[in-house]
């Protein structure tokens, strides 16, 4: 599933994340493979329990994976790593979390939260430099430098999420995993945060893995989209193709369930239901368009493409 010419910043190869007893494991992530190219935004969508958050957290090493390889910038992320190797990964890939209320330590000020990484990595030891850097980060996310001394609970949800973004930027990473960063926010605040993420991407040349369940926002911000269901990627392709020419029946059912702000069309909308059938081992990824792949057996994929 390669795009010619572009550089891969992240390669996920046959990653498995199984929990529970080895004889009857819960397959949270069940053999997924995809690549993320430098500078793009890959959206990872699916409903609760599909494994998208687990995938994100496995990439950033919050969990150890059960099988497969995660290769970041040519280097294997998992396996035996020295402390300095691990610190190197920290400085190149970071994460933005979902819950603006739980992702900030209630006992710390905004400045302390943003500057925590500096303490951990021994950066900006000079007080003045450190303060200046924290101010720069606050302003980069649309907050004031006066906010540095305020405690997390004094901020609104949207402002807290901005602090979380500033924290993720503090080590100047190349790659950011955004794990449902807007799900807990009001509609107009979601738009503010999404705009901010887009601007930051342009300014800093960031690559994003955008994990979410809201397909509309994902489609808006992503270049490519991967659709997950029960631990597997069902379909992956360019955002427009996924949205306008979906092939996998699950993708179609997901799209048909999104309510649009169009009352007349909503009144006559016919939702497509999805009935899941287990596919056998012969299932694999089949190319159905430019950079567009679907998971299934050869026969099934043929019928799906015909019904496109």
Partner 1 sequence: MTQQQIEKDKFKIVGGNHEATDKLADKSVSFWKEVFLRFSHNKMAVIGIIILVIVILMAIFAPMFSQYKSSDQLGVYNAPPSAQFWFGTDDLGRDIFVRIWEGARISLFIGIAAAIIDLIIGVIWGSISGLSGGRVDNIMMRIADVLTAVPYLLVVIVLLVVMQPGLFPMIVALSITGWITMARIVRGEVLSIKNQEYVLAARTLGASTSHLIIKHLVPNALGAILVTMTLTIPSAIFTESFLSYLGLGVPAPTASWGTMASEGNKAIANAPWRLIFPAVFISLTIFAFNAVGDGLRDALDPKLRK
Partner 2 sequence: MSKTILEVKDLKINFKTYAGLVHAVRGVNFDLKEGETLAIVGESGSGKSVTSNALMKLIPQPPGIYESGQILFNGRDLIPLTDKEMTKVRGNEIAMIFQDPMTSLNPTMKVGRQITEVILQHKKVSKADAKKRAIELLTQVGIPFPEKRYKQYPHEFSGGMRQRVVIAIALAADPKLLIADEPTTALDVTIQAQILELMKEIQKSSKTSIIFITHDLGVVANVADRVAVMYAGQIVEYGTVNDIFYNPKHPYTWGLLGSMPDLDNDTDELLRTIPGSPPDLTNPPKGDAFAARNEFAMAIDYEQEPPMFQISDTHFAKTWLLHPDAPKIPLPDAVAKRIEGFLAKEAEFND
Question: What is the C-alpha to C-alpha distance for residues 173 and 192, in angstroms, rounded to an integer?
Answer: 22
Task: Work out how close the CB of 216 gets to partner 1 at its nearest, in angstroms, rounded to a whole number.
Answer: 24
Residue 86 binds which entry of partner 2, partner 1, none, CB below 5-8 Å type-dependent: partner 1
Q: Does 99 bind partner 2 (CB under 8 A)?
A: no
Q: Does 135 bind partner 1 (CB under 8 A)?
A: no
| Cβ-based neighbours of 255, under 8 Å, separated by 6 or more | 215, 243, 246
Residue in 91, 41, 10, 38 with CA at minimum distance from that of residue 197: 41
Token reading at 83: 């402390």
| Cβ-based neighbours of 201, under 8 Å, separated by 6 or more | 41, 208
Task: Work out how close the CB of 287 gets to partner 1 at its nearest, in angstroms, rounded to a whole number.
Answer: 34
DSSP 82: -
Q: Does 55 bind partner 1 (CB under 8 A)?
A: no
Residue closer to partner 1 by CB (options 157, 289) is: 157
Q: Does 187 bind partner 2 (CB under 8 A)?
A: yes
Q: Does 243 bind partner 2 (CB under 8 A)?
A: yes
Ranges within 153-182 binding partner 1 (CB under 8 A): 153-155, 159, 164, 167, 170-171
For the beta sheet containing 67-72, the strands, ordered from the edge strand earlier in sequence to the opposite edge, are 26-37, 8-19, 67-72, 75-76
Q: Does 103 bind partner 1 (CB under 8 A)?
A: yes
Residue closer to partner 1 by CB (options 18, 274) is: 18
Residue 104 binds which entry of partner 2, partner 1, none, CB below 5-8 Å type-dependent: partner 1
Residue 41 binds which entry of partner 1, partner 2, none, CB below 5-8 Å type-dependent: none
Residue 75 binds which entry of partner 1, partner 2, none, CB below 5-8 Å type-dependent: none
**Tokens 């043929």 found at:** 302
Task: Work out how close the CB of 121 gets to partner 2 at its nearest, in angstroms, rounded to a whole number.
Answer: 33
Ranges within 115-134 binding partner 1 (CB under 8 A): 116-117, 119-121
Question: What is the C-alpha to C-alpha distance for residues 295 and 280, in angstroms, rounded to an integer?
Answer: 11
Given a contact cutoff of 8 angstroms between Cβ atoms, the answer to whether 46 and 227 are in contact is yes
Binding-site member from 8, 213, 230, 245 for partner 2 (CB under 8 A) = 213
Using a 10 angstrom Cβ sphere, with 0-12 exposed, 13-18 middle and 19 or more buried, the burial of residue 230 is middle
The 274-303 contact track toward partner 2, x by CB under 8 A, reads x-----------------------------
Token reading at 94: 């970071």
Token reading at 187: 């509609």
| Contact region with partner 1 (CB under 8 A), list: 36-44, 68-76, 141-149, 234-242 | 141-149
Using a 10 angstrom Cβ sphere, with 0-12 exposed, 13-18 middle and 19 or more buried, the burial of residue 201 is middle
Q: Which residues bind partner 2 (CB under 8 A)?
A: 47-48, 156-159, 186-192, 194-195, 198-199, 213-217, 219-220, 240, 243, 253-254, 256-266, 268-269, 271, 274
């Amino acid at each position: 599933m390669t795009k010619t010419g572009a550089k891969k910043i992240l390669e996920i190869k046959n990653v498995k994340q199984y929990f529970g007893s080895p004889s009857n494991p819960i397959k949270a992530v069940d053999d997924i493979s995809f690549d993320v190219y430098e500078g793009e935004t890959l959206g990872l969508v699916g409903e609760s329990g599909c494994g998208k958050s687990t995938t994100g957290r496995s990439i950033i090493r919050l969990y150890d994976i059960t099988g497969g390889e995660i290769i970041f910038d040519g280097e294997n992320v998992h396996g035996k790593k020295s402390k300095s190797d691990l610190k190197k990964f920290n400085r190149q890939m970071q994460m933005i979390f979902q819950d603006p209320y739980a992702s900030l330590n209630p006992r710390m000020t905004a400045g302390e939260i943003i500057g925590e990484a500096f303490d951990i990595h021994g950066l900006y030891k000079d007080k003045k430099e450190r303060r200046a850097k924290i101010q720069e980060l606050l302003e980069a996310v649309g907050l004031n430098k006066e906010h540095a001394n305020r405690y997390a609970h004094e901020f609104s949800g949207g402002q807290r999420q901005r602090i979380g973004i500033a924290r993720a930027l503090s080590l100047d990473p190349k790659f950011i995993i955004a794990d449902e960063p807007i799900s807990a926010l009001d509609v107009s605040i979601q738009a503010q945060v999404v705009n901010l993420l887009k601007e930051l991407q342009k300014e800093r040349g960031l690559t994003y893995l955008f994990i979410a369940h809201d397909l509309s926002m994902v489609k808006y911000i992503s270049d490519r989209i991967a659709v997950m269901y029960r631990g597997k990627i069902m379909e992956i392709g360019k955002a427009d193709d996924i949205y306008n020419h979906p092939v996998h029946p699950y993708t179609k059912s997901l799209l048909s369930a999104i309510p649009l702000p169009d009352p007349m069309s909503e009144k006559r909308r016919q939702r497509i239901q999805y009935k899941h059938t287990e596919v056998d081992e012969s299932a694999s990824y089949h190319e159905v368009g430019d950079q567009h792949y679907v998971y299934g057996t050869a026969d099934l994929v043929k019928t799906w493409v015909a019904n496109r």
